[in-house]
Amino acid sequence: MSEWRYCQYICRWCRIIVRTAGLNNNGFSLLEVVLVLALLMAGLGIGLPAYNQIAVKKEEERFFQLLRNDIYFAQSEAYRSGYSVKIIFRDGFGRYDIVQNQFAPLDSRIIPESVTLESTSNLTEIGYWSNGSVMASGTLRFSTSSAEKIIVVHLGKGRVVFSG
């Protein structure tokens, strides 16, 4: 079958499908357009709240992964530079700062709105001496949208355990 005959064959079938579907050259009626838009809006109304919950959860996961990396960075930077390094949580400001030798800021990170440092935490900062060992042991408790996250800092070599 030549290309021209094949195109005519396809066009003939398209015309048959259009006739049986009830479409004409005038396009869609207002009722059809409104019905399709209503179905789309209902689908979006169901899907968007679920997406927002997933987005908040992913933001929290990224925050705790970044916090873990910053804790490892603080320990390695203290060991590398020979100066003490601290991660100070400023819950009233919604951020935590990484500072070297008490005054030199290294970085500052924003804490998501869905994550708060609980008052039952007995630490407000994680600090490392110049040899990489931790300054104080304790527990940081964070409440999130889904559960409680706990960070335990052990004395000695500065091991930090994330749970929750």
Domain residues of the chain, as ranges?
A: 53-163
What is the token pair recorded at 148?
Answer: 């409680």
Domain 53-163 has CATH 3.40.50.2300: no
pTM: 0.70
pLDDT at 69: 94
More confident residue, 22 or 94: 94
pLDDT at 149: 92
pLDDT at 30: 82
% of residues, the chain, pLDDT over 70: 84
Residue-averaged pLDDT of the chain: 82
Residue found by looking up tokens 């005519």 in the block: 8
What is the token pair recorded at 70?
Answer: 């910053």
How far, CA to CA in Å, does 55 sit from each of 61, 115, 145?
A: 10, 14, 11
Cβ(79)–Cβ(68) below 8 Å: no
pLDDT at 14: 53
pLDDT at 4: 53
- Please write the tens of the pLDDT for every residue from 83-141: 999 999 987 888 999 999 877 888 899 999 999 888 888 888 899 998 888 998 899 99
Q: In the chain, where does DSSP find H-type helix?
A: 3-21, 30-81
